[in-house]
Amino acid sequence: MKPVSLALHALFACSVAAGASAAPTYDEEYAKYGVGMAGAAYCAGTLGHGVENWSCRACKGYPGVTNSTIITESSLSYTLNGFIAYDSSEDRIVLSIAGTDPLKIRDWIDDLDFFKSEYPLCAKYGSEKCEAHEGFLGSYDVGREAIVSAVKEYKAAFPTAALHLVGHSLGAIMSVFAALDLTLEENIKVDSLLTFGQPRGGDQAFADFFEANLEELRLTHYTDPVPHLPPQNLLGEAFFQHPSTEVYYEQYNSLGSYKVCDGQEDNTCSNKNLVDVDLLMHLNYVGFDFISNYLACKL
Ligand X SMILES: *[C@@H]1O[C@H](CO)[C@@H](O)[C@H](O)[C@H]1NC(C)=O
Q: Which residues bind ligand X (CB under 6 A)?
A: 49, 53, 55, 66-67, 69, 153-154, 157
Q: Which is nearer to ligand X, 36 or 99 (CB)?
A: 36
Q: How far apart are CA 82 and CA 71, in angstroms?
A: 5
Helix axes 204-213, 170-180, angle to 10 degrees: 60
215 contacts 185 by C-beta, under 8 angstroms:
no
Residue 242's nearest CA partner among 218, 278, 275, 223 is 218
Phi, psi at residue 19, to the nearest 5°? -105, -135
Distance CA 150, CA 94 (A): 11
Of 96 and 139, which has the nearer Cβ to ligand X? Answer: 96
Say how far residue 297 (Cα) sits from the centre of its chain: 22
The Cβ-side half-sphere exposure at 14, using a 13 Å CA radius, reads 6
User: Least distance to ligand X from the beta carbon of 17, Å?
Assistant: 36
- Considering only CA atoms, which of 197, 214, 242 is closest in space to residue 21? 214
Partners of residue 162 on adjacent β-strands: 92
User: 32-50 in b/e burial notation, b at 16+ Cβ within 10 A?
Assistant: ebbbbbbbbbbbbbebbeb
